[in-house]
């Protein structure tokens, strides 16, 4: 697939996906969601890619939401399909990806933009970032997982307030809420993301995959997270990464994980 609305840069086994619709503040139209779906799938299948950073082009917006002009005239059925397909193709895919995904929130992250950031494994914001779920101001509710992931990340009361007021919070408040892990000046955003993901990429990608799975299991209503953890813990003992990691420790050398 040729990408029109995103581009991908790869450096030292770290891929950066940049959403590139600056005239629309990187709003997520269908094409962009399809492109992101393809990009995440391809990068996840590529063993060389150890971590993914996702950001928006420019200094103003990460993603200013789903593309309002595209769905303004949708019927009930079309709206249902938009949310169901979007959740499956992008938001659930990202959340459950085996490769770590970090959102570099470089400006507005609103509606579907904040939902995309929340589907990532964790978030880092620039100090100018503004985050919110403005959907009720448009007569609709978040449809890409926002009503579920925001309370998971910041607690039910704060999430209810943000959703009901449709207001934006700044990076400092997002940091206090635990919505983002760091808030840094814009020029430090991508360097900090690279620094953290390069530390991640030194570890066993197989163990990280199972860790992501076990953490996510605890947030699924039909899965016992503790049981999922026990299964994944046991499975790790059968991997080459476990043999290498424990041997390297005992031999007092740096592990060189085969990723299998």
List of residues contacting ligand COA (CB under 6 A): 24-25, 27, 64-69, 108, 110-111, 134-135, 138
The question of whether 229 is a catalytic residue gets the answer no
Nearer to ligand COA by C-beta: 76 or 250? 76
Catalytic member of 115, 127, 187, 244: 115
115 is annotated as an active-site residue: yes
Comparison of 121 and 130: residue with beta carbon closer to ligand COA:
130
Provide the 8-state DSSP code for 179.
S
Which entry of 11, 95, 135, 188 is annotated as an active-site residue?
135
Pick the closer one to ligand COA by CB: 164 or 230: 164
What burial class does residue 220 get, using C-beta atoms within 10 Å of its C-beta: 0-12 exposed, 13-18 middle, 19+ buried? exposed
The smaller minimum CB distance to ligand COA, of residues 44 and 67, is found at 67
- In angstroms, give the least distance from the CB of 138 to ligand COA: 6
| Greatest Cα-to-Cα distance within the chain, rounded to the nearest angstrom | 65
DSSP code string of 188-252: HHHHHHHHHHHHHHTS-HHHHHHHHHHHHHTT-TTS-HHHHHHHHHHHHTTSHHHHHHHHHHHTT
d(Cα 173, Cα 15) in Å, to the nearest integer?
29
Taking the least distance from each CB to ligand COA, the nearer of 139 and 238 is: 139
As measured in angstroms, the least distance from the Cβ of 216 to ligand COA is 25
CB of 142 within 8 A of CB of 115?
A: yes
SS3 content of the chain, % helix, strand, coil (to 5): 50, 15, 30
Q: How far apart are CB 152 and ligand COA at their closest, in Å?
A: 20
Q: How far is the CB of 151 from ligand COA (least distance, A)?
A: 18
- Least spacing, CB of residue 53 vs ligand COA, in Å: 22
Helix (H/G/I), strand (E/B), else coil: 169:
strand
C-alpha dist (Å) from residue 33 to 56, 176, 177: 14, 30, 28
Provide the annotated active-site residues. Answer: 115, 135
């Amino acid at each position: 697939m040729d990408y029109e609305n995103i581009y991908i840069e790869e450096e030292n086994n770290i891929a950066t996906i940049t959403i590139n619709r600056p005239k629309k503040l990187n709003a997520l139209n269908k094409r962009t969601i399809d492109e992101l779906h393809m990009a995440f799938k391809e990068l996840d299948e590529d063993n060389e890619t150890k971590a993914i950073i996702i950001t928006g082009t420019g200094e103003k917006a990460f993603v200013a939401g789903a593309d309002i002009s595209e769905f303004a005239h949708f019927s009930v059925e079309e709206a249902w399909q938009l949310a169901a397909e979007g959740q499956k193709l992008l938001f659930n895919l990202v959340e459950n990806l085996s490769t770590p995904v970090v959102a570099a929130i470089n400006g507005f992250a609103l509606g579907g933009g904040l939902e995309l950031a929340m589907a990532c494994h964790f978030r880092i914001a620039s100090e100018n970032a503004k985050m919110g779920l403005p959907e009720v101001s448009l007569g609709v509710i978040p449809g890409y997982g926002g009503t579920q992931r925001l309370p998971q990340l910041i607690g039910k009361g704060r999430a209810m307030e943000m959703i009901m007021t449709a207001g934006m919070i700044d990076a400092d408040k997002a940091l206090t809420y635990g919505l983002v892990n760091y808030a840094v000046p814009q020029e430090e955003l991508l360097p900090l993301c690279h620094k953290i993901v390069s530390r991640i990429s030194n570890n066993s990608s197989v163990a990280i995959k199972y860790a992501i799975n076990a953490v996510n299991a605890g947030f699924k209503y039909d899965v016992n997270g503790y049981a999922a953890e026990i299964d994944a813990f046991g499975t790790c003992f059968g991997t080459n990464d476990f043999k290498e990691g424990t041997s390297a420790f005992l031999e007092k050398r740096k592990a060189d994980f085969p990723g299998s």
